[in-house]
Structure 1
């Protein structure tokens, strides 16, 4: 196995902002203000130093998202088919060796997310790596090979939606971020948003 220093693969990222956000009253979660900044701004700030390029997957408010200065792409399959559809679209738009996937509503993502997940992948020869907060896997925070696109598309086309069922079909490993238990706190309710705002302010 090569050590991480011998070969540094190119990593691009997609921020998934394509969901319906039903629990937030239908508000577009990436654009919900958190401490005077859209939620996705916090995510971009965390991610930008870690990857070569960022893409944003959004199925509405594309004009607003384009104002952040990154390429915005909508799901190839219409109909809000969930995070898999956004990942499939992004995998078709990247030339990088690896794609890092994150949701738009995790403003406290680890600053070392990409390098630690890459280390896991290189040490284990995994096809994809899923992040964990030490207790639970975070199924939409993952590092994967874009060559898995056909497999994921076949899974979605078969009517499947649950991403963890898909990655169980492949050699996947987990990177624990138990040392950063708040890293993957996301915002599904106005109450969680308030708690998170207080945490960021501190």
Structure 2
């Protein structure tokens, strides 16, 4: 496992800025699973892997701030999607890279960042994106903060598709085909109920 002190600075960005339409409008990061808000499961998994965490949220910012990490809202209005969260984070951090992860994915592996970083280093890429063996998982990504201007221009042009922005840059995929559970996410209350563990205080990943 790569020592944090030997790699460029990385900030983990937890994306909690969506509308969560399929969750009945509830704030997904604050929906409880196994007695704790989803975001707490994500924080517990990512905290040992980085020295910096930032939360991207567009509502309930005071509740998110209670976790002790900076909370930033999109600089673009009306919930413009994950790329708007990427940009908001880049505008705030001083790290060389950000790693983006969704607030509704409680099964992060303990080597998520190392795998993304190793893939990025091997290709000297600007972006490393997780791949589950079948398809790319675009919101699980390591992204150079030097791409802030490019992303700002892309969004200013009216574009919102992550894949299209990635295609403009030197992007490599990181193989997670042996850990597809990494990308289990909870989009509805029904999914949350099916994922609810019995007799445990953490989800079964």
Deviations 1:23-70 (A, max 9, x none): 110010000000000000000011111111000000000011011111
What are the equivalent positions in structure 2 for 1:119-138 lying under 5 Å apart? 119-138=118-137
Identify if the C-alpha distance between structure 1 residues 127 and 197 changes in structure 2 by more than 3 Å, giving closer, same or farther: same
The residue that corresponds to 2:110 in the other structure is 111
Question: Which of 191, 197, 203 is the aligned partner of 1:200?
Answer: 203
Gaps of 5+ in 2: none
Counterpart Cα distance in 1 of 2:141 and 2:80: 18
SS of the residue corresponding to residue 183 of structure 2 reads coil
Q: Are the counterparts in 2 of residues 118 and 143 from structure 1 also a CA contact under 8 Å?
A: yes
Q: TM-score, normalised by structure 1?
A: 0.94
Count of residue pairs the alignment pairs up:
200
The residue that corresponds to 2:184 in the other structure is 185
Deviations 1:73-101 (A, max 9, x none): 11111211111111101011111111101
Gaps of 5+ in 1: none
SS of the residue corresponding to residue 42 of structure 2 reads helix
Q: Are the counterparts in 1 of residues 16 and 57 from structure 2 also a CA contact under 8 Å?
A: yes
The residue that corresponds to 1:85 in the other structure is 84
What are the equivalent positions in structure 2 for 1:33-44 lying under 5 Å apart? 33-44=32-43
Counterpart Cα distance in 2 of 1:69 and 1:4: 24
SS of the residue corresponding to residue 16 of structure 1 reads strand
SS of the residue corresponding to residue 98 of structure 2 reads strand
The residue that corresponds to 1:143 in the other structure is 142
Shift of 1:197: 2.0
Counterpart Cα distance in 2 of 1:6 and 1:101: 20
Deviations 1:82-140 (A, max 9, x none): 11111101011111111101110000011100011100111101100001222121111
